[in-house]
Amino acid sequence: MGNKKFKKKKKVAKKETKKHNRIEKELEKEKKNQNCELKMLLLGTGDSGKSTFIKQMQILYCDGFNRKDYTLYSSVIKLNCVGYIKTLLKACDSLGYSLSKQKSRDRETFLNLIKESPHSYTNEIAKYVPSLWEDSSMKKCFQDRKLFQIPGSADYFLDKFEEIKEEDYKPKQKDILICRIPTTGLKELNLKINGLVWKFVDVGGQRSERRKWAHHFDDVDILIFVIALDCYSQKLFENNTINRMEESLSVFENIVNNDYFKKKDLVILFNKVDRFEKSLENSPIKETFPDFNGLNNYEEGKEFFKNKFIEIVKKRNKRSIYPFFTCGIETNDMKNVFEEIQKKLIKKTIH
């Protein structure tokens, strides 16, 4: 009888030990997950919107921007506006657009001031920016920007330059999101989101920066490739004979075939949908992509470019692809996209 009781107790104890060990394992696993670091690498050609994604994460999961950021962006935006006017004046000359007599005089004064203070911003130079921008020839020239190099966001800043030129100008959140400072080297942002440590890594997309990409390929958990949809009608800054979308397709194919990423699931952000829709008005897709046979509208255009990138992946393997159409400067849009990325990929990546 005593032997039976002993065996029963032993059996119960064994069962309790198993249960305890299982709970300990679960707790250990949970603890590991809570301290898990996920490395998210953002790749794409220059001006695709990778840095804007990082800025949005800073807004959503940090305290946004600090005083140093505001000072930096205020200075950069002012200098950029001066550069936009200089670029437009040069383009007016090459494309045959003539300014009015008064504006032509302003043009000469402005360019002389620039020669005296190259790479500088002065109140005297700033005085001529709104005056020159309001000329109808400058506006027409900007509409033809696919023929020369100027950011598509230049008009946003030039339209509000009266506010920007003030000494106490403090950029709005949208100004900082739209302002472009080309990434050189590496930018990292580490955030704790939902108990996980996220390491966001942004590397420069210009040709001169891409040779550095391989240094950051180790231990990547999630790969995001960013494409500016509006670049289908534009040429590279580095080479005015190469279409930016073709370059993006070529770079994407190289990444997809890289041994580091062959088994990685892939997030593709088709970015700048707002500018893409605007571009269609003046630049039909078929002009630069003769294989496009759909209607020149937003829906058919975005599907055409999405399929071009997805076909590259499907040629190689059956990895999961998560495409999103995004407007990088819309914070709510990027919040929804990032939440979807978390839902789809966190469990797969951690477990």
- Say whether both 73 and 58 belong to one domain: no
- Say whether both 294 and 244 belong to one domain: yes
Return contacts of 60-68, CB within 8 angstroms, 24+ apart.
60/331, 60/334, 60/335, 60/338, 61/191, 61/193, 62/189, 62/191, 64/173, 65/173, 65/176
DSSP conformation letters of 288-351:
H-TT--S-SSHHHHHHHHHHHHHHHHHHH----EEEEE--TT-HHHHHHHHHHHHHHHHHHHH-
Mark which of 136, 153, 177 sits at the end of a domain: 177
- Burial-class residue 26 by CB neighbours within 10 Å (0-12, 13-18, 19+): exposed
pLDDT in tens, 183-226: 666 788 999 888 888 999 888 656 555 565 666 677 888 889 99
Query: What is the Cα–Cα distance from 277 to 230, expressed in whole angstroms?
Result: 8
- Say whether both 310 and 296 belong to one domain: yes
Decide if 30 is inside a domain. no
Q: How would residue 120 be classed by pLDDT, with cut points 50, 70 and 90?
A: confident
Decide if 18 is inside a domain. no
Q: How would residue 279 be classed by pLDDT, with cut points 50, 70 and 90?
A: very high
Mark which of 177, 198, 226 sits at the end of a domain: 177
Q: Which domain holds residue 326?
A: 38-64+183-343
CATH number of the domain enclosing 257: 3.40.50.300
Q: Is the separation of the CB atoms in 92 and 141 below 8 Å?
A: yes
Q: How many domains does the chain have?
A: 2
Decide if 8 is inside a domain. no
pLDDT in tens, 257-275: 887 777 777 899 999 999 9
* Amino acid found at 18: K
- Say whether both 210 and 288 belong to one domain: yes
- Say whether both 213 and 97 belong to one domain: no
Judged against a pLDDT cut of 50, whether residue 32 lies above it is answered with: no
Distances (CA, A) of 184 to 124, 210, 216: 31, 10, 14
Question: Among the ranges 22-26, 196-200, 315-319, which has the highest mean pLDDT value?
Answer: 196-200
Question: Among the ranges 61-65, 252-256, 283-287, 347-351, which has the highest mean pLDDT value?
Answer: 283-287
Judged against a pLDDT cut of 70, whether residue 39 lies above it is answered with: yes
- Say whether both 156 and 42 belong to one domain: no
Mark which of 143, 160, 177 sits at the end of a domain: 177
